[in-house]
Each structure stands twice: as structure tokens, then as C-alpha cells.
Structure 1
């Protein structure tokens, strides 16, 4: 099965936050780790991951959470620690930590509320939301119950 989604029309594209060479590396990692995702969709995922990271850094304490697909991009980006740290510093002004919820912990308001907060935060931060990529919240079984941004600024 191949996942291919149409690109929505927009004027603000968060992919522009990421260095073009880094975009290519992240696309390769996403498509390698998730062979059902095509390159065009992986590019959109990377863009939404950049928007998620930027919004998370601006909305500290809001318990934002990526969608399942956007989480692919966030995890790929985090693995490039030097580039990820530089991106966070340049775009947000500080490192945006990946904070998994522990077993039995709940996201405030539940997964749907976290998704709504996150999509709203991305829009408020001035980035286009690719709604097709935000249909389900991430369930990072390798991160216990879910993936979230830094709970505090700093």
C-alpha cells in the first residue's frame, strides 16, 4: 500500500524553515523507515514536523502532540541531533525536547484535544496546517503512550 496525499493550496509553507539539504535527508529517512509513504507525502510530513516544532516552542506548557504522520518527520529530525538543535535555536530560540508520556499518563483533555490544540497553535504561529496529515494523533509505542513537546520553556 502506498500513501499519497494531495497538497493543499497555501501561501505559508513551513518547509521553508528547513535547509533544503536537510529536507532531502529527512525525506529519505521517512521513506526508508515508512516505505508506504511516497516522497511527496514525506516532504509534506517534514514541513508539518517543522511547523509542529516551531509552534511547540512558542506554546510551552500547552502539551502539544504530533499526528501519527507528522511524528514520522519529528522522529526523523530528532535523529539528526546537531541539525535539530540548530533548527530549534534558530526558529524557536531554545531546544524543543521530545517528552514521551509514561505508561498510564494521559494527555490533558485526551488525544483529540491535544490534536486540536496543536493544529490551532500551528495556525496561530503563522504556518499552514496540512489538514490531511493531522487526522490521527501519534501513538508512539516506542515512546510508551505518546509524544509531546517540552512541557516548559528553556
Structure 2
């Protein structure tokens, strides 16, 4: 379930030009075997995550969910673009520091709250924090998976 949010929220997608978003989402879909509509959501959430990590300098304490991780990998695999985007957005290159072993429902909830507090829309299904996350239709990281 996607959480409805107040007016004035923004999307990760809004941080890049439409052509760039299309290129990233198409790559993500192809590289990770996702339907394009899913890849669009993954890239949107990855852009929001990386933007919050970069602008708050809290990358070491945040991690993407299992579902959002392919989006961040897509960004960093486009190295020239990613380096330029980081410089424009934050003034420095945000390095990828893998910490997937620390993914817990609690961490994902904290990450989602940081992203939401920065004004971004959240797709709870991609973070494993949706209220209706129940087996066997699990929606992401967390104890139900």
C-alpha cells in the first residue's frame, strides 16, 4: 500500500530530467529483470534515498531496502552521470558503503522516516514497512520475508 501524503511532497523522480530518469529506469528494468513500472518506482525511491543521504551526510547510518538497492546500484553504475549529479546536489561524491547486512525492519522504518521528513513521497511496499506486509505476499525486507 502506498501511503497518501500531504500536498507539497516531492518525488525522487523530480530530482532529474525526464530523459535521465527514463534512461535509469530502463537500465534498472533490464539489468534486474523488473517490469518497467516497478523499475520506475525503484529509481524514484533510490533517488530520494541518495538525496537524503547526501544532503544530510547520513549515508553511514542509512541503507536501502532489498527492493530499492537495485535502484542505487543503477545510479552508481552510471558513474559519470552519478558523479556529476552528486556534485550538483550535495557538493561532493557520495560513495556507496554497502551495509545490507544491517537491514532490519527497524532500520527501514527509520530510513523511511528520514526520507519522509525531507519531504519525499514513500512507497512503503518497497521498504517493507507497509502495514499490510503479511506472508505469503511479503512486501520487502523485514521479519515477514
Superposition TM-score tier, normalisation by shorter sequence: 0.7 to 0.9
Give the deviation of 1:8 after TM superposition. Answer: 5.8
Matched residues in 2 for 1:21 and 1:125: separation?
Answer: 24
Residue deviations 1:53-73, cap 9 Å, x none? 011113334510101121111
Partner of 2:98 in structure 1?
Answer: 100
Matched residues in 2 for 1:94 and 1:50: separation?
Answer: 16
Structure 2 gaps, min length 5: 129-139
Structure 1 gaps, min length 5: 1-5, 139-154
| 2:114 pairs with 1:116 | no
Give the deviation of 1:98 after TM superposition. Answer: 0.5
Matched residues in 1 for 2:91 and 2:119: separation?
Answer: 17
Out of 9, 12, 15, the residue aligned to residue 14 of structure 1 is: 12
Give the deviation of 1:18 after TM superposition. Answer: 1.5
Matched residues in 2 for 1:113 and 1:54: separation?
Answer: 21
Give the deviation of 1:137 after TM superposition. Answer: 4.0
SS at 1:85 equivalent: helix
TM-score by length of 1: 0.71
